[in-house]
């Protein structure tokens, strides 16, 4: 091949390579250049929604583009998860996830789990609480009363729970298994917000919900706080009440709330979003807001999320097996 032709070919390749690099760099430097969609895989008013929206407001401010939160609940949050998973991995569709991403896979509801997404950070850990009705014919002032009555009268107490496979449903099963109680479970559509409404209406004597979704009803006197299903006591003014674990029962459940994106997102775009999530989650105002709503605002970096979820998975797997719902063993 003539030297001139070789030189010309090499020069052309170099120019094209430079243009490609410049183009990629330009695109990534400009991210985000348009509004971002955030898929909230639970109903409005659920614990993740209550905390996820103000977090996204802060992320939007940091990134300099508006973020539109769209609620996509249903089928144990798998509808929302599927939409996030199938979205174009360009950074313009993000979403929320919790422990339900584990239960869906284990019970065969969805083929995808936490390994099938781009992780962008965890912003808070919720734990469920036990609430009692002030309207039902049978009322309990303390969790000790509820446990004692249930032991003496198996199946006579109605326990409202989130839908089967939801995170607070797992919390309810942990409570029943750890205390060896027999209650009449009433799963409701959705998560904690609907559980709290059912208990407030007197349709169940006890319910497993979250403080964030129950706070208005607690403040209004429609339901009462009985106990926290966590390692540590709930924040004031409920910290005077013992956890179920403090009463001698091996009961504890917590759910990590994640920010996720579709698989195969460009690393630099994912890193930019992850940094914004970290900054937002560590803002003092957000931390205070989270603590007031029964959440532990413990930011978890993307690279530590998989190990965290692996530990949660082992607990969930055991509960699902005992409930006869385990369909995915791996």
Round to whole Å and give the CA distance between 34 and 223: 43
Could you tell me the pLDDT band of residue 315, with boundaries at 50, 70 and 90? confident
For residue 9, the model assigns a pLDDT of 44
- Asked, for residue 186, whether it belongs to a domain, the answer is yes
Same domain for 167 and 222? Answer: yes
Say yes or no: 144 and 218 in one domain: yes
Domain boundary pick from 199, 224, 247: 247
Question: Considering the domain boundaries, does residue 146 fall inside one?
Answer: yes
Distance CA 2, CA 8 (A): 10
Q: What is the pLDDT of residues 12-36, one digit of tens each?
A: 444 444 444 444 444 456 999 999 9
Same domain, 263 and 314: yes
Rounded Cα gap, residues 7 and 3, in angstroms: 6
Give the chain's domain count.
Answer: 2
Are residue 106 and residue 174 in the same domain, yes or no? no
Mean pLDDT of 91-120: 93
Would you say residue 25 lies in a domain? no
What CATH number should be reported for the domain holding residue 310?
3.40.190.150
**Token pair for 14:** 């170099």
What does the alpha-carbon distance between residue 53 and residue 321 come to, in Å, rounded to a whole number?
34
Together in a domain, 98 and 198: no
Residue 142 lies in a domain: yes
Length of the chain: 330
Per-residue confidence (pLDDT) for residue 19, from 0 to 100: 46
Do 226 and 298 have their domain in common? no
Report the C-alpha gap between 247 and 99 in whole angstroms: 26
Give the pLDDT band of residue 190 (cuts 50, 70, 90).
low
Q: Is residue 91 part of a domain?
A: yes
The torsion of the CA quartet 278, 280, 285, 290, rounded to 10 degrees, works out to -70
Residue 100 has pLDDT above 90, yes or no: no
CATH number at residue 229: 3.40.190.10
∠ CA 129-70-61, nearest 5°, is 90
- Answer yes or no: do 238 and 139 share one domain: yes
| Same domain (yes/no): 163, 267 | no
pLDDT digits 0-9 by tens, 206-249:
999 988 788 889 999 999 999 999 888 888 888 888 999 999 99
Residue 49 included in any domain: yes
For residues 51-72, give the mean pLDDT: 97
Are 58 and 94 in the same domain?
yes
Q: How many Cβ atoms are within 10 Å of 139's Cβ, its own excluded?
A: 14
pLDDT the model gives residue 85:
98
pLDDT higher at 162 or 258: 258
Give the mean pLDDT of 159-182.
Answer: 90
pLDDT, residue 235, reads 81
- Looking at the domain assignment, is residue 210 inside a domain? yes
Integer Rg of the chain from CA: 23
Residues spanned by the domain of 164: 129-247
Instruction: Answer yes or no: do 100 and 166 share one domain.
Output: no
- Asked whether residue 101 is domain-assigned, the answer is yes
pTM of model > 0.85: no
Q: Which of 228, 247, 266 is the last residue of a domain?
A: 247
User: What are the tens digits of pLDDT across the range 256-281?
Assistant: 999 999 999 999 999 999 999 999 99
Among 247, 273, 295, which residue terminates a domain?
A: 247
């Amino acid at each position: 091949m003539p030297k001139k032709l070789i030189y010309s070919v090499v020069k052309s390749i170099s120019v094209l390579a430079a243009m490609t690099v410049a183009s990629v760099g330009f695109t990534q430097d400009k991210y985000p250049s348009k509004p971002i969609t955030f898929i909230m895989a639970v109903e409005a008013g659920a614990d993740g929604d209550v905390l996820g929206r103000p977090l996204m407001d802060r992320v939007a401010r940091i990134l300099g583009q508006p973020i539109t939160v769209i609620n996509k609940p249903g089928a144990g949050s798998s509808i929302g998860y599927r939409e996030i998973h199938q979205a174009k991995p360009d950074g313009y569709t993000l979403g929320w996830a919790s422990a339900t991403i584990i239960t869906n896979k284990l019970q065969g509801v969805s083929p995808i789990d936490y390994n099938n997404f781009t992780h962008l950070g965890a912003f808070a850990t919720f734990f469920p609480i036990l609430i009692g009705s002030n309207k039902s014919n049978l009322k309990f002032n303390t969790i000790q009363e509820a446990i004692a009555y249930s032991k003496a009268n198996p199946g006579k107490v109605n326990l409202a729970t989130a839908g089967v496979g939801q995170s607070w449903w797992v919390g309810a099963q942990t409570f029943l298994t750890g205390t060896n109680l027999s209650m009449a479970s009433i799963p409701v559509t959705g998560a904690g917000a609907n559980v709290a409404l059912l208990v407030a209406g007197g349709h169940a004597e006890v319910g497993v919900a979250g403080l964030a979704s129950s706070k208005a009803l607690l403040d209004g006197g429609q339901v009462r706080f009985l106990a926290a299903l966590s390692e540590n006591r709930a924040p004031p003014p409920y910290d005077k009440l013992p956890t179920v674990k403090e009463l001698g029962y091996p009961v504890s459940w917590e759910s990590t709330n994640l920010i996720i994106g579709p698989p195969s997102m460009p690393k630099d775009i994912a890193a930019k979003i992850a940094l914004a999530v970290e900054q937002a989650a560590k803002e003092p105002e957000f931390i205070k807001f989270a603590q007031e709503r029964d959440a532990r605002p413990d930011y978890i970096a993307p690279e530590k999320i998989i190990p965290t979820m692996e530990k949660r998975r082992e607990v969930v797997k055991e509960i699902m097996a005992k409930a006869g719902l385990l369909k995915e063993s791996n």
